[in-house]
Amino acid sequence: MTNTKTMAAQIERINSIITGAAEYYKVAICSNTYGYMDNRIKQTAYRTFRKIYGKKYKKHHIPMAKLSNRPQRHENRQDKTFAVEHNEKWIGITKAYITHSQRDKFNYNQKMTPYSSEGRQLYIIEKKGRKLPALDRPPIYEDVELFTCEEKSLNSFEYYMNREYAYNRDRGRCKICGENLRPKFRHCQRLDGTLQLDKINRVPNLAWFCYNCIKIITGGEIPPNTNSKMKSKTERYGAKLKVLN
């Protein structure tokens, strides 16, 4: 039988296809498409899990809120999906409907048009008043990283999952300056780098910083114009940091 890590990585590969397709359809009337996709995937998953686990397949049908993969996407979702357990973490199949429809964000109105001042005004009012949907972002890991990661290494499966959790915990912001983190300019730091492999990748030991701040806390100088609040945060994290020499 395929090992659970490979299955978990396969599920994440499927998830990237599901979310990719959902992104594609989100600008159109998509709830029917989402429903169709989710149903077909559920049926296929049901047959696959029955085949693998027999009558025990029900143990693999769990609320999405319990999943470790894509915690931001799945948080507070109580409806069930199929999942595998790997190292005490549940990795499950996502659902297309979770992707926010862009169309639903606006109350379209026949009079809303770019060709009249009244039409433009209606659009502006609608846009301003809209409630922004929760940030729906792709996970930080690549599925290939899940396939190739080694169990007893620093960048283990646990690391990728917990790093994602820490990112979600901090709402994608730098622990020091509070700026929104951007790809390529963010860094996940293990605060105590001297811990054993089984403890080093726990969520409380992981923190996200922007490139500027990580440079400072790992030995750079604090810029003279730094305000006192940021300065004390920088010093606190600098003192907390234990790097393996």
Residues that bind Zn ion (CB under 5 A): 174, 176-177, 210, 213
The answer to whether residues 170 and 187 touch, using CB atoms and an 8 Å cutoff, is no
Nearest to Zn ion of 114, 219 (CB atom): 219
> Is residue 191 within 8 Å of 205, Cβ to Cβ?
yes
Judged by beta carbon, residue 5 or residue 175, the one nearer Zn ion is 175
Beta carbon of residue 205, minimum distance to Zn ion (angstroms, whole number): 19
If the CB atoms of residues 52 and 177 are measured against Zn ion, the closer one turns out to be: 177
| Closest approach of Zn ion to the CB of residue 218, in Å | 13
- Nearer residue to Zn ion within complex by CB, 41 or 181: 181
Tell the smallest beta-carbon distance from residue 10 to Zn ion (Å): 36
Are 199 and 190 in contact by the 8 Å Cβ rule? The answer is no
CA-to-CA distance for 30 and 180, rounded, in angstroms? 30
Q: Give the contacts of 195 (CB within 8 A, at least 6 positions apart).
A: 205
Task: Compare residues 199 and 215 and give the one whose CB is closer to Zn ion.
Answer: 215
d(CA 62, CA 58): 8
54: alpha, beta or left? (left if phi > 0; alpha if psi -120 to 50)? left
In whole angstroms, the minimum distance from the beta carbon of 72 to Zn ion comes to 20
Smallest gap, in angstroms, from Cβ of residue 13 to Zn ion? 32
